[in-house]
Amino acid sequence: MKKCDYCGYENDNNAVSCIDCGTSEFGPQTPTPGESEAPTPSQGSLKCDGCGVESFFTKGFREDKSSSKPKRFCLKCWTEKERRKQKKALGVQAGFLSLGVILVVSGIAPSHGWLILNILAIQVFLIPNAIWHETGHAVAGRLFGMRIFGITIGAGRALFMRRILGVPFEFKAFPYGGLTLAAPMTVDHYRVRKFLTVLAGPMANLILAAGAYWYLRQNGLRWNLMRGFAPVQVWFFSNALILAGSLVPLKANSVAGAVSNDALMLLELLFSKQPAEKPVFLYHLLLGLELCAEKKYEEARRWFEEAQAIYPNEHVLRLLAGSLLMESDEYQKARERLLPLLDIKDLEPELRFVAMNDIAYAGVRSGDRTLLSEADAFSEQALQYVPWSPSYKGTRGVVLVELGEMDAGIALLKEACEEDVGNSHKATNACHLAIAEERRGQTHEAKKYWQLARRWDPKCRLLAQQKDF
């Protein structure tokens, strides 16, 4: 039989979703009377074709269909695979750049060299034109009463962030693509306002392309890319490329899942029946997360609690409000607020795992030793379902250290420290590593981790536990 981990209902082995609560996520199958043996733990789970990790959390995998045989990857492996692909693409472009320069400078085949260099210039010009595209979304969004939470340019690891006219621009390592994060503050005429906001991006590139085309016609310039550097032609083709990519309906894979491009969003706005209240809820959620990013935790918690009164069925608000209590060291209170979430049958699996992880961490940090068995069970289950999560590895590591399993706990904390991209989380894990090393008498190692934690986040609250050596 397949037992649903969320409601406990025993389903038939051939069931694809729970009859009672409807989830498609099952835990390990349990034998029924008369069965000779229980099915193996791998049944019902997915396996990463990269690292081999298995998980029942099917939403945490991404499928790569680029080869003849589609492969599935966990988020960690998929991110690393995309990064390698992007680096390879940059390497190929660097090779063509060298070839183009050699052909032009040496005089062997200057026309072919200029063609190569102009094609590469089209890709370089994608960066300013992508900024222009996303700015078009942002300007239209503000005009039509949308809140602009940020603009991302490129993909991969974040390089730096700058505020431009009050809007945070985040620039990433590989300058391809972009995203404008916007949400409406009211439901009034939502579809029309969102439609015009989405349409403004491609229209911004259409204006630039039309301007370049007009300039070429007015000055009698040719479209030839083989007779020297052709900046106006390159500018036209760069905008045309972005325009084509925006207006052909498609979805792109990302860490957050499949993301619709502008054309698909426009079609969804025309034909989807999604209620306008959902995007307005997104405004409340994003504003609270923005306050968290600014470390205004108490203000963020109050905001989530107020939003929860408006959207009582949006359990993520309750989860965030409860978890934020830990930022003021109210661990027992946080645990008490989060525990009832586990009784909700239709709670989304990803929210359930976060709640388990946070309850486990709150239990350990509360100092109540009687909660260690609960923390052990919840942290183990959360990591079992999302085994690539640095956050879950960190919590599991802290629990194991408290249980006296130093080697296993420190190993997980080191993995979390290396894999997490947020400095505040890295600092927290480094502090826990320092505390663990102190307990086993490794003062030199402990001092090293305290220093790392202070470098990553000088305001980390756990730094107060550092001892003098």
Domain locations in the chain as residue ranges: 109-271
Q: Beta strand 46-47 with 10-11: parallel, antiparallel or unpaired?
A: unpaired
pLDDT tens by residue, 392-449? 999 999 999 999 999 999 999 999 999 887 888 999 999 999 999 999 999 999 999 9
User: Is the confidence at residue 66, as pLDDT, over 80?
Assistant: no
CA 58 to chain centre: 16
Calculate the alpha carbon distances from 245 to 173, 252, 266, 348 in Å. 21, 11, 14, 33
What is the DSSP code string of 75-105?
HHHHHHHHHHHHHHHHHHHHHHHHHHHHHHH
Question: What is the reported pLDDT for 39?
Answer: 34
Per the prediction, the chain carries an average pLDDT of 85
DSSP state at residue 466: P
Query: From CA 117, how far away is CA 234, in angstroms rounded?
Result: 10
Query: From CA 350, how far away is CA 56, in angstroms rounded?
Result: 11
**178, containing H or E segment:** strand 167-184
Handedness of CA 385, 390, 395, 399 (dihedral sign): positive
In the chain, helix, strand, coil percent, each to 5?
60, 15, 25
Please name which of 434, 431, 416 lies closest in space to residue 462, comparing C-alpha atoms.
431
Average of pLDDT values for 288-299? 91
Average of pLDDT values for 96-115? 94
pLDDT tens by residue, 333-350? 999 999 999 999 889 988
Q: Which two tokens stand for residue 103?
A: 């052909």
User: Is the confidence at residue 255, as pLDDT, over 80?
Assistant: no
Q: Which two tokens stand for residue 328?
A: 């003021």
Query: From CA 466, how far away is CA 462, in angstroms rounded?
Result: 8
pLDDT tens by residue, 164-191? 888 888 888 777 788 899 999 888 888 8
**DSSP-derived 3-state class of residue 468:** coil
Calculate the alpha carbon distances from 372 to 117, 343, 349 in Å. 63, 20, 23
| Residue with the two structure tokens 């962030």 | 161
Q: Which residues have a Cβ under 8 Å from the Cβ of 128 and sit 6 or more positions away?
A: none
Q: Which two tokens stand for residue 56?
A: 């029942």
Q: Which pTM does this prediction carry? A: 0.80
Contact of 361 with 370, CB cutoff 8 Å: no
Query: From CA 301, how far away is CA 292, in angstroms rounded?
Result: 9
pLDDT tens by residue, 232-254? 999 999 999 999 988 888 877 65
Average of pLDDT values for 378-395? 93
Greatest mean pLDDT range, 13-22, 43-52, 257-266, 353-362 = 353-362
**2, containing H or E segment:** strand 2-3
For 52: left if phi > 0, alpha if psi spans -120 to 50, otherwise beta; the answer is left
